[in-house]
Structure 1
């Protein structure tokens, strides 16, 4: 394992020139977001930069993913992962580098992740005399669908590029910039995204007696779903049920014949997941029956995320290395997150440990003021908000620093030239 002195020497390369280049790259990626499995421009830019750094780059892995590989002698293979897809959100940040792609936004910070990984790739490429092994930089598509990691694995990721000793990655969140947060064990929830189709009978708005109103049916379902967690899940367990979309009708004086809901469910155990899914189905079918629906409602799965479990030993080793360079006082344990991540697929598919952590993206003074005023939830835009806007610094330099220190904690040291040959 590389010593902290090695990390400090490698990180000395994070100078003003590289920092300016990374800031320009971040602004470019932020201004040109692309949806899941459509990350063509982003992938091409990542690939171009990887080749310029001397990496062997392969595009189109798992449809639109990019893998950059740098072999530097015998030693461990370390997978560094960044996702790079955006969301169907209309940006409202007012930033000078705001999205130029109408209705698409990097509202979850994946542009930060890609930028930081490229920064770490640059540092490791420049300091090959400080480490040994293989860096496997994986730029993953379609994290927001929970499909990108599996797509890359299914595209023979490990058979083509080698199986790593560890999977490392990070995610920017609405916590103070300059900090790193990691929770060993069960770290991110499982997700089930469902589409519910509720059929009624359309009619004129002035004659509701001739209709079976799917708007009322859907509204009743939304309200009843709020009782799943509060009334059916034990207080010591955790779950979240959110109706993120409800679509029905086209005009004020027309009762439509169809309503569609989209649900997002987060759970932490197979038992609770089974109970929540059963409750959702019972409520949907019950409300349709109560409304006199003549057609059974349809319930289909849009996508799922598995539970994401951080390896405790990998987290201990990785966080110790990160703390050595940023300060142990800037490390926190946030507990298990209700968010979901498919990065764990890279670990479970090859039975290798995963360490995945959070980096802060909020101006520390702004965060402290909101925390002191008790207005953090109101004043600090969270991921997926149209106002989500990580501050560039110290977010980027902290992200590069953390990922570089983590990589060096697992890459091998160069053989001592003064030692006798084996």
Structure 2
């Protein structure tokens, strides 16, 4: 009898452990009823993308959906940003963030639902618009998460803060929303979580990187001056094309010879323009650079070295101080590195593993892409934040790529087409489970 009782107790305890190890198994069933609606929302957002600073209709769509769910909604925060607040008793405040802007890309996916929208950019040029960075997936998952948290509000307590941020692609949206009082006019969050679709992880899986996840991003313009003249008499000129060529090569020594190889650093010259005709030596060449790093000290070292090298090369070519290159750092577009709070990242990872299964959660390595999500944790409050990667690649495409060693369309590619039904479903389950655990910790 004693052995029977002990065995029964052990079985009961085992059953309780199994049940508690997967507390949100109802989410998949609960979500199934909303998937057709979310897929329709995705197609609508995909076919009506708007560029940074122009997300007016997108903001209205988000605001309308949150209002229907019972959120107290404030629109036009920091541009066309939207903040929805839902108070559900005492508990922590959890902020969930999505971004909303599209990119000036002509879509070439060949999908029946491909975007055909065009508009005028800031230079009055006609451009296509596409959600080539997956923000349509982000928004659909965002609304789906809001739906599940409201539908299952008996399962958690606290304040849910849904933030739809504009102008992420130009590094301006988070700054604008913070400046507009995101953490002073609204409840200050205890935790901030977000997701970003991945073009290298298969749909149905997620990946997360504790610590540094995304890089510092800086845009730098260099104006290289010279003394123009006839191409047949180069000895009478100070050729800025030659100077630019020397500078482009010299800049690569910053990474290879000045910055520790243990410190990630990228300096890429993405654009070089100068001259107008075969036989004319121009007076000026312009370079455009992107800088990437994680460590703020490395960023400062990059910029200081660029200024020193361009100045020195100009003087060595015989130009005087009045004609040294002008180095302009776009401080207004600066994006800091995104640092996933290790403790919060571990909690989020654990929540997603419980919901999706450990086999569907991968450890991600840091990348040199940028995201202004990191700004939310750099206020004086130092609010812990974590963003995770949401796999978007159709499984068959991913398996073919691995088998044949071929490349997949990247984010910002005109041919990027995620498996949106599975990706949205996975995103909603992962984000909802993470939020619930943070409310209930």
| TM-score w.r.t. length of structure 1 | 0.89
Comparing 36-45 with 281-290, greater Cα deviation is found at 281-290
Between 225-234 and 287-296, report the one with greater CA deviation.
287-296
Q: Which of the numbers 156, 174, 177 marks the counterpart of 1:149? A: 174
Could you say if the C-alpha distance between residues 291 and 94 of structure 1 is closer, same or farther in structure 2, counting changes exceeding 3 Å?
farther
Assess, with a 3 A threshold, how the Cα gap between structure 1 residues 289 and 34 changes in structure 2: closer, same or farther.
Answer: farther
State the match for 1:416 in structure 2.
none
1:61 aligned partner: 77
Structure 1 segment 124-163 matched on structure 2, within 5 A? 124-163=149-188
Unaligned residue ranges in structure 2 (runs of 5+)? 1-18, 119-126
In 2 relative to 1, CA 205–103 (structure 1 residues): closer, same or farther, beyond 3 Å? farther
Task: Give the secondary structure class of the aligned counterpart of 2:241.
Answer: helix
Classify 1:196/1:132 alpha carbon distance in 2 versus 1 (closer, same or farther; 3 Å).
same
Report the RMSD for the aligned CA atoms in angstroms.
2.4
**1:340 match:** 370
Deviation, structure 1 residue 137: 0.5
Structure with the bigger RCO (C-alpha within 8 Å, sep 6+) is 1
Offset, 1:78? 0.6
1:184 aligns with 2:210: yes
Query: Cα 1:199–1:363, aligned 2, differ >3 Å: closer, same or farther?
Result: same
Is the aligned partner of 1:296 residue 2:324? yes
Aligned counterpart, 2:136: 111
8 Å Cα contact 1:318/1:406 also seen in 2? yes
Distance 2:249 2:128 in 1: 29
Residue 84 of structure 1: how far off its partner (Å): 1.3
Show structure 1 runs of 5+ residues with no match. Answer: 414-422
Deviates more, 1:165-174 or 1:260-269: 260-269
Is 1:87 matched with 2:103?
yes
8 Å Cα contact 1:30-1:98 kept in structure 2: yes
Q: Which residue of 2 aligns with 1:48?
A: 64
The answer to whether residue 30 in structure 2 is matched with residue 13 in structure 1 is: yes
Measured against aligned partners, the alpha-carbon deviations of 1:233-289 in whole angstroms (never above 9, x if no partner) come to 332221111122223345556544332222111112233223322222223223433
User: Separation in 2 of the partners of 1:280 and 1:25?
Assistant: 46
User: In structure 2, what is the equivalent of residue 239 of structure 1?
Assistant: 265
1:367 aligns with 2:398: yes
* Equivalent of 2:287 in 257, 261, 269: 261
Task: Determine if contact 2:219/2:329 at 8 Å carries over to the other structure.
Answer: yes
SS at match of 1:143: coil
Count of aligned pairs between the two proteins:
408
Where 2:368 maps in the other structure, the secondary structure is coil
Helix, strand or coil for the counterpart of 2:35? helix
Q: Which residue of 1 aligns with 2:389?
A: 358
Of residues 299, 309, 314 in structure 2, which corresponds to 1:283? 309
Q: Is the 8 A contact 2:27 2:429 kept in 1?
A: no
**Matched-pair contact (CA < 8 Å) for 2:310–2:324:** no
What is the Cα deviation at residue 173 of structure 1? 1.3
**Offset of 1:171 from its aligned partner?**
0.7
Q: Secondary structure at the match of 1:215?
A: helix
Q: 1:393-412 counterparts in 2 under 5 A?
A: 393-412=421-440
Range with greater deviation from structure 2 (298-307 or 266-275): 266-275
CA contact (8 A) 1:4 1:325 kept: no
My pick for the range that moved more, 236-245 or 246-255, is 246-255
